[in-house]
A and B are shown apart, each in its own frame.
Chain A
Amino acid sequence: MFNQENKRLLLQGNEAIAYGALAAGCRFFAGYPITPATEISEMLATMLPQVGGTFVQMEDEIASMGAIIGASLAGEKTMTATSGPGFSLMQENLGYACIAEVPCVVVNVMRGGPSTGLPTCPSQGDVQMARWGTHGDHPIIVMAVSSVSDSFSITIKAFNLSEQYRVPVVLLSDEVVAHTRECVQLPDQKSIRVVDRIRPSVPPDWYKPYEGDNRGVPHMAAFGDGYRHHVTGLVHDEYGFPTQKPNEVQQFQNRLTKKITRGFSEIMMTKGFMLEDAEIAVIAYGSVARSALKAVEDARKQGVKVGLLQLITLFPFPRSHVSPLLEQCRAVLVPEMNMGQISREVQRVNQNKCVVAKHNRIDGQFITPNEIYAQLIKL
Chain B
Amino acid sequence: MNALKTITDRYELRFSGSGGQGLITAAVVFSEAVGVYDGKYVCQTQSYGPEARGGKSKAEVVISETPIDYPKSLNLDFLLAMNQAACDAYFYDLNADGLLLVDSTLVEQYPTSRIIGIPFTDIAKNELGKEVVANMVALGAVGRLCQKVNLENLEKALLQRVPKGTEKLNSKALQRGIEEAEKIDVLGLPRSIITDDDEV
Contact A181 B4 (CB under 8 A): no
Q: Nearest A residue to B36 by beta-carbon distance?
A: A8
Q: Is A120 an interface residue (CB 8 A)?
A: yes
Contact A119 B4 (CB under 8 A): no
State the Cβ distance, A116 to closest chain B Cβ, in Å: 9
Q: Is A291 an interface residue (CB 8 A)?
A: yes
- Dominant secondary structure at the B interface: mixed
Which residues in B have their C-beta under 8 angstroms from that of A10? 28, 31-32, 35-36, 42, 44
Contact with A along B108-127 (1 / 0, CB 8 A): 00000000000000000000
Which residues in A have their C-beta under 8 angstroms from that of B48? 120
Query: Roughly how many angstroms separate A181 CA and B59 CA in the complex, as a whole number?
Result: 11
Contact with B along A4-15 (1 / 0, CB 8 A): 000011100000
Query: Roughly how many angstroms separate A176 CA and B73 CA in the complex, as a whole number?
Result: 13
Which residues in B have their C-beta under 8 angstroms from that of A299? 3
Interface 9-mer from A22-30, A207-215, A240-248, A367-375: A367-375
Which residues in B have their C-beta under 8 angstroms from that of A179? 45-46
Which residues in B have their C-beta under 8 angstroms from that of A369? 4, 69-70, 74
Contact A180 B4 (CB under 8 A): no
Contact A119 B50 (CB under 8 A): yes
Most buried by A among B35, B39, B47, B69: B69
Q: Is A301 an interface residue (CB 8 A)?
A: yes
**Contact size class for B?**
20 to 34
Contact B32 A182 (CB under 8 A): no
Which residues in A have their C-beta under 8 angstroms from that of B3? 298-299, 301-302, 373
Contact B36 A180 (CB under 8 A): no
Q: Is B8 an interface residue (CB 8 A)?
A: no
Contact B1 A294 (CB under 8 A): no
Q: Is A264 an interface residue (CB 8 A)?
A: no
Q: Nearest A residue to B46 by beta-carbon distance?
A: A179
Which residues in A have their C-beta under 8 angstroms from that of B44? 10, 180-182
Which residues in B have their C-beta under 8 angstroms from that of A183? 35-36, 41-42
Which residues in A have their C-beta under 8 angstroms from that of B45? 176, 179-181
Q: Is B72 an interface residue (CB 8 A)?
A: yes
Query: Roughly how many angstroms separate A371 CA and B62 CA in the complex, as a whole number?
Result: 19
Select A370's contact among B4, B28, B31, B47, beta carbons within 8 Å.
B4
B positions within 8 Å CB-CB of A:
1, 3-4, 6, 28, 31-32, 35-36, 39, 41-50, 68-72, 74
A positions within 8 Å CB-CB of B:
8-10, 35, 119-120, 176, 179-183, 287, 290-291, 293-294, 297-299, 301-302, 366, 368-370, 373
Closest 4 A/B residue pairs (Cβ): A183-B35, A181-B44, A294-B70, A293-B69
6 contacts between A and B (CB under 8 A): A8-B35, A176-B72, A181-B28, A181-B31, A302-B3, A368-B70
